[in-house]
Amino acid sequence: MSERADRRRWQARTGARVFLCALVALALWVVTVGAPMSRGAPGVQAAGLASCDVTMTHHVSLASAGGASARLSRTQGVVGTALSLTGSHWPARAAVIISVFINVRGEDYEAFAKLAQGTTAADGSLTIQGFRAPVIDSCVLPPLQSGETVVFLVHTLDNHIQAPVNFTYLTDLGPQVTTTPTAANLAPGEQITMTGARWEPDEHVTITPAIAPQGMQSPQPAIQPLSADAVSITTDSTGAFTVSLPALNESPLTEISFVAEGTGPRYGDVEVDSWTYVMLPKVFPSIHLSAIAVNPGGALMVSGDHWLPHQSGVIEYCRGENTIPGMVGLRCDPNLSEQLGTFLADGSGHFTAQVNLPANARLGSVTVQARAPDSMFGLVVYTQAQPLAIAPTYAEAHPRQAWVEAHWPYFAASALALLTLLVAAAIWLTRRWRGRGGAARAVSGL
């Protein structure tokens, strides 16, 4: 009986422990799975508002402050509508900024920190001109919806005085332009055709080329309109047009866009920009290798022509299987290339540089390229490559012959020593034979 009772007590304790473990596991599951679904979870609060790790500026209040007033020249329009702003009762000689705010789920967020700025007059009046209704579309803000109203907040630098003004984007899309070719790069002298739609009927439209010389460089240069090359066109009864634009012949890396501007009763003065092109060089840069094959660790002369004057860059190599298509042929995958040296072009765009292949370079086909690493455009145009073979040395290609040739002095010395021994032995044997022959003749004479 005692044994049976002990067994029952042991079973009861074991059951209690199993039940307690189950309760703990259930509690942990609720905490782990249920926590993300709670109302205060940060992930839920942030979801749907932004798709990138950028902090949006939240403005506490957009209400009027300080008694100043402001008024827009137009309270509605489309992207690109020309606007001006006037105001009164501002501090004298004060700097004033126009910021743009958009409402997202009941909260106001800053879309443009400084759309335009100006300075008040001595009497507190304010006039700011030369700005346009902006495009509002970024990774931190949802795309602007047609018919949506935004707030142009006019304020001093310290935000103590501010005046909000509403601007509503019209429900229709407004004037649009497209250009062909649709590629991002433009060859010198290439013809551009612009097509317009949704402009006002019989509207006079002026199209002006605008350039930013070497726009890929930093800092960004100012945009320069080419007014002498402007083209005028009148839209048809549906507000459409098609026009050929003058061919341009700008320097490489120049950014080129075409600005269409028209005025009508519905949209007012509207400016629409085309796609931005980047001008290609007239003659693409090139490189030349001093050899078609080099041994591991061997020297190689690399020369180049038609590069940008005083362009600096790197010389790299990669395996044949680590190449990717480029504009003018194959180029090295940036993540799988190895730098061999650097180069600096002279004023005419020519360079010559000597590099050495790694001593442990694997045999076979490789690609040697010259590249301008500090320019995004360098990956498109200013990366030029040539094939090269890393060939085995004579010793690697003919190991037996190389071993023999490397040891021939020892073979020659050994052969000479052996020959010397043979000659000495032959002389010794000859003398001995002669000595025995003389002794035999002396004996026979007796």
* CATH number, residue 220: 2.60.40.230
> Tell me, what's the pLDDT at 340?
94
pLDDT at residue 200 greater than cutoff 50 = yes
Q: Decide which of 140 and 259 is more confident.
A: 259
Side chain identity, residue 130: G
Residues 206 and 127 in one domain: no
Q: Is residue 256 part of a domain?
A: yes
Q: Decide which of 108 and 334 is more confident.
A: 108
Q: What is the dihedral of CA 119, 124, 129, 134, to 10 degrees?
A: 80
- Among 264, 279, 294, where does a domain finish? 279
Average pLDDT over residues 45-59: 40
The greatest distance separating any two alpha carbons of the chain, rounded to the nearest whole angstrom, comes to 160
pLDDT at residue 134 greater than cutoff 50 = yes
Mean pLDDT of the chain: 79
> Tell me, what's the pLDDT at 233?
96
- Among 279, 307, 339, where does a domain finish? 279
- Going by C-alpha positions, the residue among 194, 203, 193, 195 that lies closest to residue 239 is 203
306: left (phi > 0), else alpha (psi -120 to 50), else beta?
A: left
pLDDT at residue 268 greater than cutoff 50 = yes
Residues 299 and 209 in one domain: no
Instruction: In whole angstroms, give the CA distance from residue 71 to residue 98.
Output: 12
Instruction: For 316-347, write each residue's pLDDT tens digit.
Output: 998 877 877 766 677 888 788 899 999 999 99
- Going by C-alpha positions, the residue among 60, 120, 117, 54 that lies closest to residue 90 is 120
Residues 300 and 370 in one domain: yes
Instruction: For 416-440, write each residue's pLDDT tens digit.
Output: 777 777 777 777 777 767 666 555 5
Residues 232 and 321 in one domain: no
Domain that holds residue 334: 286-395
Residues 264 and 309 in one domain: no
Number of domains in the chain: 3
Average pLDDT over residues 268-278: 91
Residues 325 and 357 in one domain: yes
- Going by C-alpha positions, the residue among 302, 298, 315, 290 that lies closest to residue 363 is 298
Residues 297 and 331 in one domain: yes
> What pTM was estimated for this model as a whole?
0.64
> Tell me, what's the pLDDT at 223?
82
- Among 113, 146, 169, where does a domain finish? 169
Note if the bond before 219 is cis, omega within 30 degrees: yes
Q: Is residue 32 part of a domain?
A: no
